[in-house]
Chain A
Amino acid sequence: MISRLRYTFREMWASLSRNLTLTIAAVITSTISLLLFGGTLLIQRAFDNQLKLWTGGVEMIVYVKHGADEAQVKLVESALLSQSTVVESAVYCDEACSLDVAKTLFATDPSALEQLTPQIPSFFKVKPVDQDSSEILRSLKTEFSTLPNVTDVRTPDDAVDLLGRLKSFFGVRTLVMSVVLLFASALLIWNTIRTAMFARRREIEVMKLVGATNWFIRLPFMLEGLLQGIFGATLGSVALLLANDNWTNGVKDFPVNSGLKAFVVTDGYPVWVCFWMILLGAFVGAVGSATAASRFLDV
């Protein structure tokens, strides 16, 4: 048993070092494809986090006509709160409060602020009960827009939709790319093992004729492919963790209203993704080499 193990590892190492260029190519392809695969999962997760933040803090802004008196404002408020099944709360911000908000939002654009100031409306911040449905947000928007003295109703439904579409757009494309690259990586590992076996076909023929089993012959080659897959996946995982750290640290410096604050993955998810990347790398390496190693054994 020990002599078999010694033989297997010795032959695996000899084959790896003999085909160094092909080995490096196979490892790099595995690294890139698995990095892309892991990156896809992290991007999807970041979109999910961003969506959670947006939908979790969804507020409708119901603008009330500039100069509306207290009675008119009360009328709007009672109309909003009468929809208790769909409206959780409605907080009023008068024209002075509205001007303060505008000053913050237009801090870098004084001319816009100047134009807005004479006609600044007051507004209600309305928090819907169901914040996840853009359809409900739209129907509320339509309903509240018809209230007397209400000039406009703004909801983030379009932004939520856009983010969902972006998630699907990037998610599908990066996933397709990573699947194609994974396939390329399996093919490259297959080719590396086939080349290694072709170079040693005479040796394999002798092994078969003196009574070596197919598994005995196949094992060093399969281990070689497995190692290439795992090594590529490990490099990809390290690269992914570094890239994720770099992104997370970079996003910290962006302003709150940049929309990027939640576009990060900071929980244990990246480590979990790396675990799957290594598992997938091992699988691709083992399948690629096992199919390749079945050739040249037909003696």
Chain B
Amino acid sequence: MIKLENVTKTYSPDVTALQNANFDIAKGEFVFLVGPSGSGKSTMLRLMNRQERPEKGAVWVAGRNINDMPDAKVPHLRRNIGNIFQDYKLLANKTVFENVAFALEVIGRPRHVIRQQVPAVLDLVGLGGKQERFPHQLSGGEQQRVSIARAFVNRPLILLADEPTGNLDPATGEGIMRLLDRINKTGTTVVMATHDQRIVNMMRKRVIQFERGIIVRDQARGVYE
């Protein structure tokens, strides 16, 4: 599903975010990207949805080298990739329903599809009764669930999550991980950047560890070291 070949990304001559990174992520895998702040985890996620382009190497997503992809095709790539953020990135002036529907609306899905898919995905994330609430009326965990619903409503092939539990207490974070695990079991590939040791150790999924832009460990059913 995702393949990196000798990927190097630098932001300036002195700042190398990633150096010669290589790995393969199969369809339906759940992978943690771990490492300290500034080690290259977020850059890796940004490379996977073409927010960034590497100086060297190739990033393959669903069989296509996305570095060579014309800009006009990038929106179509992104329709197959859901994004979850630490700060949720919800739109404060829209209700829960509207925040999720927004993701379908901007890619031109018809109204009847939106009316059908949004309540279904909100039920899936456990927010069935809170469609008309605004983000400020929800807890942090609920806001992250809205963010997950928005990322998953289009049934993407891949979910990229950047520190999704970073702003949540341990119990709420566990709830979010259970939800991501459920989504992963539907066949969606999940790639999650985190430095939450407890969660990585609890899930026992594949772990790719970064240090100063270099992959130092790639371990199946790994733990945080």
Contact = CB atoms under 8 A, between A and B. Distances in A.
B89 A202 contact: yes
B107 interface: yes
A210 B79 CA distance: 6
A202 to B, nearest CB: 7
Contacts of A202: 89, 91
Contact of B89 (A1, A4, A206): A206
A213 B71 CA distance: 10
A170 interface: no
A203 interface: yes
B111 interface: yes
A216 interface: yes
Chain A interface mostly: helix
A49 B106 CA distance: 56
Contact of B108 (A4, A203, A205, A209): A4
Of residues B89, B106, B109, which shows the largest number of chain A Cβ atoms within 10 Å of its Cβ?
Answer: B106
B66 to A, nearest CB: 13
Nearest to B99: A206
B75 interface: yes
Contact of B79 (A2, A206, A211): A211
B105 A3 contact: yes
B91 A209 contact: no
Contacts of B72: 213
A190 to B, nearest CB: 23
A299 B50 CA distance: 9
Nearest to A4: B108
B110 A212 contact: no
A210 B106 contact: yes
Nearest to B51: A299
B89 A212 contact: no
Contacts of B51: 209, 299
B78 A7 contact: no
Interface residues of A, number: 20
Most buried by B among A3, A202, A203, A211: A211
B49 A207 contact: no
A207 B99 CA distance: 11
Interface in A34-50: none
A121 B51 CA distance: 93
Contact of A210 (B110, B111, B150): B150
A216 B106 contact: yes
Contacts of A261: none
Contacts of B76: 211
Contacts of B224: none
A206 B108 contact: no
B103 interface: yes
A180 to B, nearest CB: 36
B83 interface: yes
Contacts of A213: 72, 75
A125 interface: no
B134 interface: no
Interface in A167-208: 202-203, 205-208
B84 to A, nearest CB: 10
In this complex, the member of A2, A3, A214 whose beta carbon has the largest number of chain B beta carbons within 10 angstroms is A3
Interface of A: 1-4, 7, 202-203, 205-214, 216-217, 299
14 contacts: A1-B108, A2-B110, A3-B109, A7-B105, A206-B103, A206-B150, A210-B78, A210-B79, A210-B107, A211-B76, A211-B77, A211-B154, A213-B75, A217-B106
